[in-house]
Structure formats: structure tokens, C-alpha cells
Amino acid sequence: MDEGHHHHAHGGGFRAALQMELLEHMPFSVSAVAIGLIFAGLMCFLAPENAAAGQTGHDHEESNLFTLFHLFHPAHMFFSAAATTAMFWRYDKNALKAILVGLAGAVGVCGLSDIGLPHLSLILMGKDVPPHICVIENPGLVLPFAVMGVLVGLGAATGVSRSTLFSHALHVLASTSASIFYLIAPFSRLGWIDDLGKIFVFVIVAVMIPCCVSDIIFPMLMTRDARANALAAHHSH
């Protein structure tokens, strides 16, 4: 009876935490996506005619827009690795676990947010382009950022809050920009604006779901005492 009650409470707690994360992330994330799309549109409008490939196949990876994805995706990995590692190391002094979870958060969560969900969005919009998984195709581009993010997270955990507005703003900016430029790269220079409404919704989903879920699931991997301390600190903000 007690076990069933505990399981029910745990499930209810997860749903409540997920709802809270979504409500906390939504205003900032939606605003960031809207602003990011405006800047992307201005950049495409001011760019030369060959700024985007405008065709399917690997050619889209040679566009200037995809080059911008390769700028923001590693930056997102850095901020994600630093934030996740710092959270773990502050409440659970298991260095190996903190490093592994920090790397998993950077590679897995960023890959889902910047590549996985945007690529699914392209398929739903009828774009037949091959997926580009940076950690496989360009490991030397992204892994140094992930590793450095883990090291920064270990060093900063004791003195810098992972929930500061500055670090969170940079994290969301990098995530939003990476998702946007992966999504619009296969389109012609301004052709993606015809699908702006769909892209707006797809990018919001791509930014919010991985970040919210990771904020809940990763703390569950901590020890029980560390998890309780982390959740208490999170609720106090």
C-alpha cells in the first residue's frame, strides 16, 4: 500500500514538476524564438542571393545559413554542459557522474533540440534532406565545446548559480538560434518565411521540450539527499 502510494505521489510530482517547468520556460522561450526569427529574417533579407541553398540534398549543408547553425550548435553544447554539470556537482559530489551527465546533457539534449526535433519538423513540412548529426560528422567542431563546458561547470558550481538570468539567456539564445538555422537552411533565402507560422511553433517545441525534461530527469539521477537539496533550491528561486 505504501509502495503504491509512493509511486502515485512520485508520478504526480513528476507531472507537477513538468507543468511548472513548462510555465517557467514558456514566456522567455516563446519571446526568444520570436526575436530569433526576426533576426534570421533580417539576416536573410540582407544576405546575398546564394545565402541559402534552396534545394534538397547535402547542398543545404554548404549554405551560409547552415554555417550559422555550426556556430550556435557548439555554443549551445557549451552552455548546456556547463549548466548541467554545475547543477550535479553542487548537490552530488560524484565527479564521474557529474562529468558523464554533463556530456550526456550536452550531446543528447542539444542534439535533440538543435537537430532531432528540427529535422522532424522539416520532414513534416515535406523537406527531403538527410539528417546532419554533428557529433558523428563533425566531432572536432562540437566535442571541445562540450568538454570545456563540463570543466567550466565543475569549476563554477560552488560560486555561480546556474539559474542566473545571464547564463539562462545565453543558453536559450544559443538553443533558439541553432534550431532556427538548422530548420531554415534547406529553404531558399526567404522562402522559409512562407512557412513562418509552422516554423515558429516547431522551434518553440524544439527549444522547450528538451530543456524542460532535462531539468527534471537529470536531477533524478542524483543521490536521494542531493536530489532533495536540488529540488528545494529550485523551488526557492
| In the predicted structure, residue 172 carries a pLDDT above the cut 80 | yes
Higher pLDDT, 3 or 188: 188
CA distances from 18 to 12, 154, 164, 190, 214 (A): 10, 26, 20, 36, 10
What total number of domains does the chain contain? Answer: 1
Task: At 181, list the grid cell.
Answer: 538555422
Higher pLDDT, 53 or 122: 122
Mean pLDDT of the chain: 80
Q: Which range (78-87, 147-156, 163-172) has the least confidence? A: 163-172
**pLDDT at residue 190 in the model:** 86
Quick one: CA torsion of 31, 112, 220, 228, rounded to 10 degrees? Answer: -20
210 — pLDDT class (breaks 50, 70, 90):
confident
**pLDDT at residue 231 in the model:** 65
Residue 208 near residue 26 (C-beta atoms within 8 A): yes
Residue 58 near residue 130 (C-beta atoms within 8 A): yes
Q: What percent of the chain has pLDDT over 90?
A: 36
88 — pLDDT class (breaks 50, 70, 90):
confident
The residue range of the domain holding 98 is 2-236
